[in-house]
Chain A
């Protein structure tokens, strides 16, 4: 190894995608940035994963394709990986590491920030309580999104999570004030997906408020591990320095986790489940916990991570660990999709944990929580009745059970299902909830008190 200048070295010992191993290096710090140049002299960034006496292990974010052991140049920058963030980045598109891909100039002004971020002091957090209108009943009515929340969408291959996400963004943009911005991080995103989002923001007239960070499916997978950090670094700047309400979309977190798995296995780490590293929980938490509000700041970061559940399996480590960190989840279900229901959301498996403090009296409507709980309780019974009906036949069901079947269908077709461009007010959502719950006799509605029933229950008594 030849020492070229104080911080640049030529030649590496070993290349093992996406890692390179160097020896003979001095003064290298853990987690600092490096620039790695191939024969042609074009640089790709990397970060230091481990340092020892005179040696270092570096992950190359552009991948190691084309690097040679003898000709590779490595320059140590002496600082963690950082990006420049400014308000002007809204309306622009960048690659997964924050470099412009829209032909525009590199951002100037603003601030240079390390992308790894710094944990928010829990004592400095402001608890989120502001309801975000999305116009989608199953979200607004049953799994409300709150400013500063992290609420993922669990999807499956071929399910319309993009449409749903785009609908949420479009409709929330209309409702939110002007200090609203969207930051999208696309990890392993396909070109048509990226175009879909772009067009949908354009249609909503919101493109000028959107910053895109795209690490396309054909880019080296290791690049993806920094994309969420880069995007969130901008989001933090906009939210906490520029007082904006920032909605961050992270898609697809499964691709992010798979990139981490690749690096982990290249380093021969002992895997936890399904080959994913034992530190996946902490890695994901470092991303998801960057959502929130802080005391004394106007802005907020709301996250909607999107992930595909491999084989629709919710117990797969990626959805599982995500669910353990986020504040609820919106779960897609293939059965509903096949029935032609949009959005195909599994109501029982979905949850918004911050809903209880952001809806109801003074926020949306007094009856909100109660009617939502009642819907859940009744709909969970529908599953049982459907099971029974499939065994003994619908005709053999008791009249009470038949009412539950009828309720279940109405719930799915009227309350859950809605148009991709249908923007329901919270009143419309709650009134629909009452309409479908009123299919059941009043005596079954044990989660609702008499006062609410008197006011909203509208069943035509048959006999």
Chain B
């Protein structure tokens, strides 16, 4: 056998995206192969003797036994270099905008294109000099990828040495050699490009506990169920309850430096929506277009299902790469259930023994590995970077006891459970205040207390109020509200005010679409103060109607529309009005 033949096998069976090929004794597990005349991309899942089981990431129509299968010698990997930001890729990192311009509006089977523009020149500024030591993960240069993001070119993991040459500042393409390193393994040349296999987490020097809130601007999240930078959250909800809108809100307004948004097995129009709105929206922190800090990975529900399974890994590898530069990165995956279903589909075609509801037994291990890639870390280069992950889950029939929701909840420390009845009443975001939780609360409480020292106790009072209201509602259902004592009717009143005046936040409202922390603490203070003072007054014998009639209650309901500064006036006025009412009952 000559060299060429050794590299080639032949298809013997095609069953949808799963094919079997013989003559594959030389390939490795998880190696990428090219299948058939179109060179469809596939990945070796299993090997038995010289027969490989291969998952093909494209439509396999027309493939026949006998078609050639070529090994590539490498695992499924992504290209990491300047030009990722603002871009949209499919699950295999094909640049969708380039394909749309070159081909037509429809995705051709076997379409190939460089992920990043090979001809574009980038402004390169070296940060090391010849003779200096460069350790793995440390930057040797900076490229201005966008006006606000410095793309740090780093020595790849596993490569350290002495800089022997470095190009002067100037304009270069991503594939030009820019730096030479003398390493114990010999001379190595560095360009702007790194390749990294998507299924392998990028290494880090260590983990840290994060005490900083990932500010999302969504009150129910930041105030009631906050997530830290580097934290993970699970967002389950029945169809139409608001997972995507909330994920997009987080992508728009959270105070991460970089956003990676993975549309995994969901709608094409949702991607079009992001592409349409993000370039026009301004990041409130930097004044730049939101698109400039965003990377989209889109494998919509009608695109090949096998590539959907990869899209999650492609997304998180891109995210880790920016984390390694020392950035706070947040990744939204919508929806991890579609990823799990892709896994199930492959597993079923592989004739594996299913565990629950047809899902393979390794579902939970895969979920755990994925969420493990989040965290606040010390990077190899010695910087601090974080990767927060928010995974949407789409439970069949809205039943949270199904496997994907249950396993995801095991590996995430924060749950934002969406409630169908809230969505039906158009209470958005439909985050349940009784079923949701955040285990990051104690980690981030000091951060909030720097905004308002009473934050934790005030939050506690509101949580108690909301849970008491739920119990009272059970009674109200049976006997009506009128028989309750006034103190309990006050609980109902304030809970109702808090729901509309604080928890509800319309994503489409230009003012209220996001809410800065300073405003959140003042609003919280206003509600708590109102509740405390009104309780005291009612205890002194005032009827609930006196409280309800006060026009400040209506102002409290609409206070979320005010500027942060105006809230101080409202607070002062509230106090004054309560003083006045109180005097009448002394």
B99 CB contact (under 8 Å) in A54, A121, A148, A392: A121
How far apart sit A387 and B263, CA to CA, in the bound complex (Å)? 40
Closest to B14 in A: A30
**C-beta contact mask, B82-120 vs A, less than 8 Å → 1, else 0?**
000000100000001101100111111100000000000
Say whether, besides A123-B271, A270-B358, A398-B481, A116 and B61 are in contact (CB < 8 Å): yes
Q: Which residue of A lies closest to B15 (CB)?
A: A50
Bound-state CA distance A50–B301 (Å) is 23
Across the interface, A121 reaches (CB within 8 A) one of B16, B96, B239, namely B96
Contact digits for A264-285, partner B, Cβ 8 Å, 1 yes 0 no: 0000011111000011011001
Q: Which positions 120-174 of chain A face chain B at CB distance < 8 Å?
A: 120-128, 148
B123 at the interface (CB under 8 A from A): no
Contact B508 A30 (CB under 8 A): no
B61 and A31 form a contact (CB under 8 A): yes
Write out the residue numbers on chain B whose beta carbons fall within 8 Å of the beta carbon of A281: 265, 301, 338, 341
| Of A120, A316, A321, the contact of B107 (CB 8 Å cutoff) | A120
Known interface pairs A52-B13, A271-B358, A285-B302; A297-B105 also in contact (CB < 8 Å): yes
Interface 9-mer from B185-193, B392-400, B433-441: B392-400
Do A27 and B302 touch (CB < 8 A)?
A: no
A201 CA / B267 CA spacing, docked (Å): 31
The CA of A357 and the CA of B263, in the complex, are separated in Å by: 20
Q: Whole-angstrom distance between the alpha carbons of A325 and B244 in the complex? A: 12
**Is B478 in the interface zone, CB < 8 Å from A?**
yes
Which residues of B have CB within 8 Å of A381? Answer: 425
Distance in Å: Cβ of A442 to nearest Cβ of chain B: 10
Question: Which of chain B's residues have a CB closer than 8 A to the CB of A273?
Answer: 357, 396-397
Contacts of A292 in B (CB 8 A): 268-269
**B272's contact among A28, A127, A279, A349, by CB below 8 Å, is which?**
A127
- Interface-forming stretch among A7-15, A176-184, A206-214, A369-377? A369-377
A294 and B554 form a contact (CB under 8 A):
no
> Are B424 and A315 in contact (CB-based, < 8 A)?
no
Name the distance in Å between A40's Cβ and chain B's nearest Cβ.
30
Q: Is the CB of A341 closer than 8 A to any CB of chain B?
A: no
Which among A50, A289, A354, A376 is the interface contact of B268 at CB below 8 angstroms?
A289
Assess the A51–B64 pair: CB atoms within 8 A. yes
| Closest beta carbon of chain B to A347's beta carbon, Å | 9
Within 8 A of B (CB), among A325-380: 325, 327-329, 348-349, 351, 353-354, 356-357, 369, 373, 376-377, 380
Taking a contact as CB atoms under 8 Å apart, the answer to whether B301 and A325 are in contact is yes
Q: Which residues of A contact B443 (CB under 8 A)?
A: none
C-alpha spacing A392/B477, complex, angstroms: 9
**Does residue A240 face the partner (Cβ distance < 8 Å to B)?**
yes
B300 in contact (CB, < 8 A): yes
A298 within 8 A of partner (CB): no
Q: What separation, in Å, do the CA atoms of A295 and B101 have in the docked complex?
A: 11
One digit per residue, 1 when the CB lies within 8 angstroms of any chain A CB and 0 when it does not, for chain B 471-490 equals: 00000111111100000000
The answer to whether B240 touches A380, judged by C-beta atoms less than 8 angstroms apart, is no
- 1/0 per position for A218-243, CB-CB distance to B under 8 A? 00000000000000000000001000
Interface pair B276/A122, CB less than 8 Å apart:
no
Q: Is A401 an interface residue (CB 8 A)?
A: yes
Q: Is A443 an interface residue (CB 8 A)?
A: yes
A426: which B residues are within 8 A, CB to CB? Answer: none
Instruction: Evaluate contact between A121 and B105: CB separation under 8 angstroms.
Output: yes
Whole-angstrom distance from the CB of B449 to the nearest CB of chain A? 32
A30-B62, A123-B275 known; A118-B240 Cβ under 8 A? no
Count how many pairs of residues, one from A and one from B, have CB atoms less than 8 Å apart in the complex: 212
Q: Report if A53-B62 is in contact (Cβ < 8 Å); known contacts: A123-B97, A315-B397.
A: no
- The answer, yes or no, to whether A32 is at the interface (CB within 8 Å) is yes
Query: Can you list, as one digit per residue, whether each of B249-271 has a CB less than 8 Å from chain A (1) or not (0)?
Result: 00000000000000101011101
Please name the residue on chain A nearest to B10 by beta carbon.
A53
Nearest chain A CB to B546 CB, angstrom units: 15
Contact mask for chain B residues 37-63; partner A; CB cutoff 8 A; 1 contact, 0 none: 000000000000000000000011111
Docked pose: A180 CA to B267 CA in angstroms: 25
A391 within 8 A of B: yes
- Whole-angstrom distance between the Cβ of B513 and the nearest chain A Cβ: 12
**Bound Cα distance A269, B15 (Å):** 12
Shortest Cβ gap from A87 to chain B (Å):
20
**A101 contacts the other chain (CB 8 A):** no
A351–B345 CA distance with the chains assembled, in angstroms: 30
A191 to B482, CA, bound (A): 57
Binary A-proximity of B501-513 (CB < 8 A = 1, otherwise 0): 0000000100000
| Residue contact A30 to B88, C-beta cutoff 8 Å | no
Residue of B nearest to A268 (CB): B351
B60 adjacent to A30 (CB under 8 Å): yes
Residues of A within 8 A of B265 (CB): 281-282, 285
Q: How far is the CA of A32 from the CA of B298 in the complex (A)?
A: 28
Cβ < 8 Å to A, chain B residues 354-396: 354, 357-358, 394, 396
Q: Is the CB of B263 within 8 A of A122?
A: yes
CA distance A282 to B300 in the complex (A): 10
> Is the Cβ of A119 less than 8 Å from the Cβ of B62?
no
CB atoms of A289 and B300 under 8 A apart: yes
A30 touches B64 (CB 8 A): yes
B105–A269 touching, CB < 8 Å: no
Which listed residue (B99, B276, B477) contacts A127, Cβ 8 A? B276
How far does the Cβ of A265 sit from chain B's closest Cβ, in whole Å?
13
- Tell me, in angstroms, the Cα distance from A438 to B558 when the chains sit together: 20
Q: Of A123, A353, A357, A369, which is within 8 A of B240 by CB?
A: A353
Is B65 positioned at the interface, with any CB of A under 8 Å from its CB? yes
Contacts of A279 in B (CB 8 A): 305, 345
CB distance from A140 to the nearest CB of B (A): 17
Partner of A124, one of B104, B341, B354, B357: B104
Q: Report the Cα distance A295→B105, complex, angstroms.
A: 8
Per a CB cutoff under 8 Å, which of B60, B341, B354, B399 touches A315? B399
Name the A residues within 8 Å of B27 (CB-CB): none
* Smallest beta-carbon distance B94→chain A, Å: 10
On whether A282 and B63 interact (CB within 8 A), knowing A119-B106, A443-B554, the answer reads no
Q: How far apart are A74's CB and chain B's nearest CB, in angstroms?
A: 16
Q: Inside 8 A of A194's CB, which chain B residues have their CB?
A: none
| B144 proximity list for chain A (CB < 8 A) | none
Measured CA separation A71–B371 after assembly (Å): 57
Query: Which A residues are in CB contact (< 8 Å) with B164?
Result: none
B303 sits at the interface (CB 8 A) = yes
Give bound CA distance, A348 to B357, whole Å. 30
Known: A53-B65, A297-B105, A398-B480. A286 touches B240 (CB 8 A): no
Cβ B302 vs Cβ A392 within 8 A:
no
Q: A281-B338, A315-B397 are in contact. Are A30 and B61 (CB under 8 A)?
A: yes
Q: Residues of B contacting A116 with CB < 8 Å?
A: 59, 61
1/0 contact trace for A46-63 toward B, CB 8 Å?
Answer: 000011111000000000
Chain B residue nearest to A397 (CB atoms) is B480
Contact B14 A270 (CB under 8 A): no
B273 within 8 A of A: yes
- CB pairs A–B below 8 angstroms (10 shown): A29-B64, A30-B64, A123-B100, A124-B96, A325-B267, A349-B424, A377-B426, A384-B477, A391-B477, A446-B500
Q: Which A residues fall within an 8 A CB radius of B?
A: 27-32, 50-54, 80, 116, 118-128, 148, 240, 269-273, 278-279, 281-282, 285-286, 289-290, 292, 294-297, 315-317, 320-321, 323-325, 327-329, 348-349, 351, 353-354, 356-357, 369, 373, 376-377, 380-381, 384, 387-388, 391-392, 396-398, 401, 443, 446
Q: Which residues of B contact A (CB under 8 A)?
A: 12-16, 59-66, 88, 96-97, 99-100, 103-109, 239-240, 263, 265, 267-269, 271-273, 275-276, 298, 300-303, 305, 338, 341, 344-345, 348, 354, 357-358, 394, 396-399, 421, 424-427, 476-482, 500, 508, 554, 557-558
- Taking A327-B267, A398-B480 as known contacts, 17 extra A-B pairs with beta carbons closer than 8 A to each other, sorted by chain A number, are A30-B15, A30-B16, A50-B13, A51-B65, A53-B65, A116-B61, A121-B99, A124-B96, A124-B100, A124-B106, A273-B397, A290-B302, A315-B399, A320-B397, A321-B396, A380-B424, A446-B500
> 4 closest Cβ contacts across the A-B interface?
A285-B301, A315-B397, A380-B425, A289-B302
